[in-house]
Amino acid sequence: MTWTWFHRLGSPPYIYALAARLTPWFAWPAALLIIGGLWGGLVLAPADYQQGDGFRIIYVHAPSAWMSLMVYTTMAIAAAVGLIWRIKVAHAVAASCAPIGASFTFAALVTGALWGEPMWGTYWEWDPRLTSELILLFLYLGYMGLRAGLEDTQRADRASAVLAVVGVVNVPIIHYSVTWWNSLHQAPSVMRLAKPTMAASMLVPLLMMLLGFTLFFGAVLLVRLRGEVLSRERSASWIREVVSA
C-alpha cells in the first residue's frame, strides 16, 4: 500500500476540492437525521414518567453537550498532528473547529439552563459538571482569542495548537465529573458501558440526533475548512484558477 493518499491530504488544493465534494455527503444525511430525530423526539416519543414533556429538551441538550466535547477532541488531535508533523491543513482543521465547538458548548449551557429551571428548580448551580462545561467555553474563547491576537498565521497555528493540547485535560474532567463528585447533574444515560437507561422509543430519536449532530458538525467543518484554506492560500496560483474557473 502506498501512502500517497495520506500525503495528498496535506495539499491545500486537493483538500479544497475534496471538502467541496464531501460536504453534501455529510449535509444531507445530517438534515434527514435531525428532522427525523426531532419528529421522533418531540412528537412520537412518549412523555417521561417523571419529567413529563419537559424531558424532550434532552434531544437538543445531550447532542450539543456531546458535540462540545467531541469537537474539542477533534480540534486537539488536529492541532497535535499539525504541531508534530507540521501539516498546515491540520492547523486549518483545528482553527475551523473552534467556533463550531464554542457554539455547541454555548447551546449545551443554554439548553441545560432551560432544562434545569423546571426540573431542578434552578437555571444554574455551581455543580462540577456545569462548571467544567463553562470552563470548556472559556477554553474555546481563549483559543480563538489567541489566534486573533497573533498576526502571523504560522505562529498563531502553532501557539494555539499548544493551548488546544494543554486544554485536553478538561475533557475527561467534564465527562467523569458526574461520577467523581456526587453532583446535581444526572449520570450519563447513553454514553456508558452498560445498557442505556432509556426506553427504546425515546432512545432511537436521541441516537438519530447524536448522529445527525455529528454529521452536521462534519458538514460545517468542511465548509469552514474551505474558507480557511482559501484565506490562507489567497496568494497561491491555484486559487486564481479556482476562482476564475
Partner 1 sequence: MTPRRRRMVLVLGIVGGVSIAGALALSAFRQNVTFFFDPTQVAAGQVPAGERFRLGGMVTQGSLHRAPGSLEVRFVVTDFSHDVPVSYTGVLPDLFREGAGVVAHGQMRHDGTFVADEVLAKHDEKYMPPEVARSLKKRHGESRADGTAPPSTPSSGDTQPPAAAHASPPSAGT
Partner 2 sequence: MSRFGSPAAGVVAQAGATHTQQSMGWAGSRQAPLLDAARLALARDLQLAFRKRGQLVQPLAFFAMVTMLFPLAISPELARLREIAPGVLWAGALLASLLALEFLFRDDAYDGTLEQYALSGQSLTWLMFAKTAAHWLLTGLPLALMAPLAALSLGVSAAAVPGIVASVAVGSVALSLIGSIGAALTLGIKRSGALLSLLTLPLSLPVLIFGARATQLAISGGPLLAPLELLAAVAVLGVTLAPLAAAAAVRISLE
The DSSP secondary structure of 21-88, one letter per residue, reads HHHHHHHHHHHHHHHHHHHIIIIISPPBTTTBGGGGGHHHHHHHHHHHHHHHHHHHHHHHHHHHH--H
Residues 47-106 within binding reach of partner 2 (CB under 8 A): 83
**Binding span for partner 1 by CB under 8 A among 96-104, 176-184, 207-215, 235-243:** 176-184
Residue 11 CA to chain centroid, in angstroms? 24
74 closest CA partner among 235, 225, 185: 225
Asked if 42 interacts with partner 1 (CB under 8 A), we say: no
Distance, CA of 155 to CA of 158 (rounded, Å): 5
**Which residues, other chains included, contact 15 with Cβ-Cβ below 8 Å and sequence gap of 6+?**
9, 89, 92, 225, 229
Nearer to partner 1, 107 or 174 (CB): 174
Virtual CA dihedral for 216, 88, 11, 78, nearest 10 degrees?
-40
Asked if 167 interacts with partner 2 (CB under 8 A), we say: yes
Asked if 85 interacts with partner 1 (CB under 8 A), we say: no
Partner that binds at residue 178, options partner 2, partner 1, none, CB closer than 5 to 8 Å by kind = partner 1
Residue 26 CA to chain centroid, in angstroms? 14
**Binding span for partner 1 by CB under 8 A among 12-20, 84-92, 194-202, 216-224:** 194-202
Partner that binds at residue 192, options partner 1, partner 2, none, CB closer than 5 to 8 Å by kind = partner 1
173 neighbors 132 (Cβ within 8 angstroms): yes
Nearer to partner 2, 18 or 165 (CB): 165
Nearer to partner 1, 155 or 192 (CB): 192
Nearer to partner 2, 52 or 149 (CB): 149
Nearer to partner 1, 4 or 121 (CB): 121
| Residues found near partner 1 in the complex (CB under 8 A) | 46-51, 54-55, 58, 118-122, 125, 127-128, 175-176, 178-184, 186-189, 191-194, 197-199, 201-202
